[in-house]
Amino acid sequence: MSLPSGHLRVAAVDLGATSGRVMAGLVGPDVLELEEVHRFPNGAVRVHDSLHWDVLGIYREVLVGLRDIARRGRLDGIGIDSWAIDYGLLDRGGALLGNPYSHRDSRTDGMAEKVLGELHGSGAERMYATTGLQQLPFTTIYQLAAARGTPALESAETLLLLPDLLGYWLTGRLGAERTNASTTGLYDIRAREWALDLVAECGLPTRVLPPLRDPGEPVGPLLPAVADQLGVGPGVPVVAVGSHDTASAVVGVPAAEPDFGYISSGTWSLVGLELDSPVLTEDARLADFTNEGGVDGTVRFLKNVMGLWVLSESVRTWADHGLPDADLPALLAAAAEAPALRTVVDVNDPSLLPPGDMPARIQALAERAGEPVPHTPVEITRTILDGLALAYRHQLRTAAALAGRSLGVVHIVGGGTQNRLLCQLTADATGLPVEAGPAEAAALGNVLVQARALGADLPDLAAMRALVRRAHDVVRYEARGGLDWDAAERRLSASATRR
């Protein structure tokens, strides 16, 4: 493929917990285009009582996508982003020690409390002051703690998060990209280095932590054997991007002003602000907000909300039971006409984390909260979406208060931008305009960071976001009145107090 002068063509590998895709990205002056070349399903595999990722299958599909891109023309670079926290262990010869666990595996149950109790002083305060992370039971440090004493961890020489593991197989180079490392509980958010003292105090081996690298740094050129497989020259570089998909997605937020909140909406919803430095106050810790590294030294100050996982798992349950009205577009259309805020439940309740009969769990939450129990798929769908909008409202307002910021607009990026009802409910609940799009923000952020590293004139985040605005449309939703969201939030708070 012959490209105009000043244009770059790169591959963005963007992996989600339910699907992966390999995208071809074209970047030039006023040009930012994506083409989905290969998409494949993903999901955890249950083996006996454990949940694992088929990481070799993921790698195979990544190679298929990269080969397809290479067949169609020039390839200037490759970048990989994925969900956070999960990892593979390598032995001293670089061989993978078993399939990586899924963060939804139950082996970490109760592990956070155990680890925090083992730390000197107040474990929770110590952990937050160092890592800045909210307490999630499946954070990498707790997964490793659950593996203490196992043959795999005892013999491991290196820990690689999933994008770094795939990058290692492509290049033979070991390392850890900082935005993803910052999610592990093994990283000092202020020093921007591994928290070696904390790791050792938790009884974990510091030897497994690889050298850190920043977004935009080269991982390395493709190994000759890999280049032959793909049909490209061995000089094609793999570039470290914001390898946590949310870090890449925030790069792809088409914000024009700094007073924005964002929601990266997909299987999970990541709700927060972009800051210059972490917020490590006691109020932030008690509110369970997280500080994660972003591109160009920024901080993603955010809260994890369960996200559209709750809805997709409900649809899967209904389909498994053969219900004829389990079609998502039809459910959303009917839910838009259903009574608003009839049932208010906490969509971030831990019972909604594992796979299973999600509609029954929503009904159980409603019953425990003293709320009207939703029975039909339409009623349950509306309950989930109202609950998500309420969670977004609460977390955005809390983030702004903790950071001393005011918000003028909310940007929603990711797959949730295609859920028009959820976007409108978010505007209604927050009282702020919502700008939805682009849906492929993570892949766009991946492409932009690669392009800058390869010489494109994109000196900073503002320049990258300006290019996103010029090249991609967004849909704007204005807040509507008529619903008492304050009363709904009080109902939610009252039910939490009763529990």
Q: Please give the positions annotated as active site.
A: 245
Region for 223 from its dihedrals, namely left if φ exceeds 0, alpha if ψ lies in -120 to 50, beta otherwise: beta
Per the DSSP assignment, residues forming a β-bridge with 272 are: 262, 302
DSSP class of residue 96? B
CB 412 within 8 A of CB 436: yes
Q: Do the Cβ atoms of 260 and 250 come closer than 8 Å?
A: no
How is residue 358 written in tokens? 């999600």
Q: Answer whether 70's CB lies under 8 Å from 117's CB.
A: no
Cβ atoms 2, 23 nearer than 8 A: no
CB 96 within 8 A of CB 90: yes
Determine the Cα–Cα distance for residues 467 and 487; give it in Å rounded to an integer.
41
Q: Shortest CA distance to 388 belongs to which of 273, 303, 482, 330? A: 303
Phi, then psi, of 16 in degrees rounded to 5? -115, 170
* Nearest residue to 89 (alpha-carbon basis) of 77, 81, 97: 97
Query: In Å, how far from its chain's centre is CA 127?
Result: 21
Burial of 396 (0-12, 13-18, 19+ CB in 10 A): buried
Chain centroid, CA 7 distance in Å: 29
